[in-house]
A and B are shown apart, each in its own frame.
Chain A
Amino acid sequence: ILNVEQSPQSLHVQEGDSTNFTCSFPSSNFYALHWYRWETAKSPEALFVMTLNGDEKKKGRISATLNTKEGYSYLYIKGSQPEDSATYLCAFKEAAGSARQLTFGSGTQLTVLP
């Protein structure tokens, strides 16, 4: 069983604060690392697919970095807004296995207070 961990489990920040959270995953057999944003009662929305060590991706105020050698990825949100409130999921895909399924972390629940 693959171990994908996210920290913190939950986070409250004030509007305008910048924040970041962590996803740790196995450092061997890496294929890809996915980040999703999941708002209540909606579908998880794909944010980033990261494949190369040292990758940095950005979408508006949200960015992510990847370190496959040590097995972690950071997600950063700059100037948090209330609409950023959601659960942020990471999912690891390993190179072995024919289906290359996603193994999910349990998520970081972000609440941005106005």
Chain B
Amino acid sequence: GAVVSQHPSWVICKSGTSVKIECRSLDFQATTMFWYRQFPKQSLMLMATSNEGSKATYEQGVEKDKFLINHASLTLSTLTVTSAHPEDSSFYICSARSLAGSAQETQYFGPGTRLLVL
């Protein structure tokens, strides 16, 4: 199956700093990438959808100025948590899909990034 990498896998930072997370599709071109967040014992919650070369679409309640998403190429999307605070501590995971339109098309996930803000 298709491989999606995510880096870093762990990050600990001080409150007020910014953290960048990279998501790469290694063996396919991802026209669309998704960013999810998961709090303990909860389900994956979609934060935003990004299409290559255009602005990301954010879900309700997700601050676009806080969570900056860039999808500049067909293999790379980045999520920057700006001025991180302890309440941003969470598990962030990306996924990618190559083509939309087919009911059988699936999303391929990275391994996730655990962020701890002190």
Contacts and interface: CB of A to CB of B under 8 A. Distances in A.
A65 B41 CA distance: 26
Interface residues of B, number: 26
A101 interface: yes
A45 B1 contact: yes
B104 interface: yes
Contact of A107 (B34, B43, B49): B43
A46 B108 contact: yes
A104 B4 CA distance: 19
Interface of B is mostly: loop
B103 A51 contact: yes
B87 to A, nearest CB: 20
Contacts of B44: 89, 91, 104
B107 interface: yes
A100 interface: yes
A4 B43 contact: yes
B73 to A, nearest CB: 20
Nearest to A42: B111
A72 B80 CA distance: 37
Nearest to B32: A99
Interface in A34-85: 34, 36, 41-46, 49, 51
Given A34-B106, A101-B49, A43 B111 contact: yes
29 contacts: A31-B103, A32-B104, A34-B106, A34-B107, A36-B109, A41-B9, A43-B4, A43-B108, A43-B109, A43-B112, A44-B109, A46-B1, A46-B106, A49-B103, A49-B105, A49-B106, A89-B43, A89-B44, A99-B32, A99-B49, A100-B100, A101-B46, A101-B49, A102-B34, A102-B46, A102-B107, A103-B46, A106-B42, A107-B43
Given A41-B111, A43-B111, A99-B57, 5 more contacts: A51-B103, A89-B44, A99-B32, A104-B36, A104-B43
